[in-house]
């Protein structure tokens, strides 16, 4: 006999109340999801939600501007919803609402897309730079439309930068909880032993900031420099440079070669290349890909800027391979 304090397991059948002369209970009605839970799902999915969303987010999702810029447009009297001029961004809209900016109807939001971009040195990853330096977004091909970056690369860092037209997708990919490894090739002035690099696996604290585990391998020594391969999952501001400085190394070249499953490979500097929807869906997982409405599409390559050379053609069968040494 089960003690009163013991609970019935989920697999155990419920008691038949009719045997004890008691009427059967009506099944409990299913409780609808909480409003905040529905909204969180919509924001994480970033697709075409049927639930309401803030007007500033709707403008940003349509690729017209950022949310902050949308709020400024509203304050300037440029936005109408169902014919009513807005004076505040505190409004939820749905696909049934008619939204106009400067008298023109809001374009249909595009499905999420992702691009690989080989960022050259000498560009900042921001839409506007207060110092007037050239930006990544000023030098992208105009046919991309408005895009945002997945994380950032600083002014002197080069290599793989992922671009997307969907803010929710970018936030998902940036999160350390997603677990995607960022891998870099690093040239640094100085000398270091592999044993010192191995200790970085335990993480390190610098000026009160805790940095997570770092995978570091000594590849080669070249003159007064060393070449390393570094892998980390957080991507904090200037993280590689700060961590290596604790080992007496001064980074003078930093190249991101991969972000999670996406790699730089032979992508020429200044070149943008579309990631196939099928590949993106496979990496995001079935559930999130379904929420985003990802479909297969043919790969598209956009011509390089900055005078970059096009990607190398595949080697013919049987041709000998030659590994290039880093410069």
Active site residues: 154
Q: Please name the residues in contact with 298: beta carbons below 8 A apart, sequence gap of 6 or more.
A: 276
Alpha helices in the chain (DSSP H): 35-45, 55-61, 67-75, 167-174, 194-198, 239-245, 277-284, 286-292
How far from the centroid of its chain's Cα atoms is residue 256's Cα?
15
From residue 126, give the alpha-carbon distance in Å to each of 66, 137, 196, 242, 312.
12, 7, 35, 22, 30
Instruction: Report the C-alpha gap between 47 and 294 in whole angstroms.
Output: 9
Identify any residues that bridge with 182 across adjacent strands, giving them in sequence order: 232, 259
Helix, strand, coil percent content, the chain, rounded in steps of 5: 25, 25, 50
Distance from C-alpha of 223 to C-alpha of 216, rounded to nearest angstrom: 20
Asked if 71 and 56 touch (Cβ cutoff 8 Å), the reply is yes
**Helix, strand, or coil (residue 28):** coil
Q: Are 183 and 230 in contact (CB under 8 A)?
A: yes
Task: Give which of 303, 301, 298 is closest to 276, Cα–Cα.
Answer: 298
For 270, counting Cβ atoms within 10 Å of its Cβ (0-12 exposed, 13-18 middle, 19+ buried), the class is buried
Q: What is the DSSP letter of 10?
A: T
Residue with tokens 């595949």: 314
**Burial level of 233, CB count in 10 A (0-12/13-18/19+)?**
middle
């Amino acid at each position: 006999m089960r003690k009163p304090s013991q609970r019935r397991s989920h697999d155990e059948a419920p008691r038949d109340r009719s045997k004890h002369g008691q009427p059967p209970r009506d099944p409990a009605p299913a409780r609808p999801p909480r409003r905040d839970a529905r909204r969180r799902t919509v924001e994480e999915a970033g697709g075409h939600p049927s639930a309401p969303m803030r007007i500033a987010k709707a403008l940003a999702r349509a690729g017209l501007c950022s949310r902050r810029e949308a709020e400024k447009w509203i304050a300037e009297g440029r936005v109408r919803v169902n014919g009513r001029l807005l004076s505040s961004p505190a409004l939820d809209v749905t696909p049934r609402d008619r939204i106009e900016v400067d008298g023109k109807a809001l374009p249909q939001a595009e499905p999420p897309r992702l691009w690989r971009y080989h960022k050259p040195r000498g560009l900042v990853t921001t839409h506007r730079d207060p110092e007037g330096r050239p930006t990544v977004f000023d030098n992208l091909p105009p046919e991309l439309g408005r895009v945002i970056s997945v994380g950032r690369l600083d002014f002197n860092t080069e290599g793989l930068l992922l671009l997307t037209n969907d803010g929710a997708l970018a936030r998902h990919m940036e999160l350390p909880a997603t677990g995607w490894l960022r891998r870099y090739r690093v040239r640094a002035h100085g000398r270091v032993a592999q044993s010192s690099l191995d200790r970085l696996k335990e993480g390190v604290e610098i000026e009160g900031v805790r940095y997570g585990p770092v995978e570091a391998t000594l590849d080669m020594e070249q003159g007064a420099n060393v070449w390393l391969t570094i892998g980390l999952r957080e991507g904090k501001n200037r993280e590689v440079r700060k961590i290596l400085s604790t080992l007496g190394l001064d980074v003078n070249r930093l190249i991101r070669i991969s972000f999670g499953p996406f790699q730089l490979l032979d992508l020429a500097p200044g070149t943008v290349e579309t990631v196939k929807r099928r590949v993106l869906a496979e990496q995001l997982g079935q559930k999130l890909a379904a929420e985003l409405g990802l479909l297969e599409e043919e790969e598209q390559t956009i011509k390089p800027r900055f005078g970059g050379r096009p990607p190398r053609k595949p080697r013919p069968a049987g041709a000998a391979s030659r590994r290039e040494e880093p410069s």
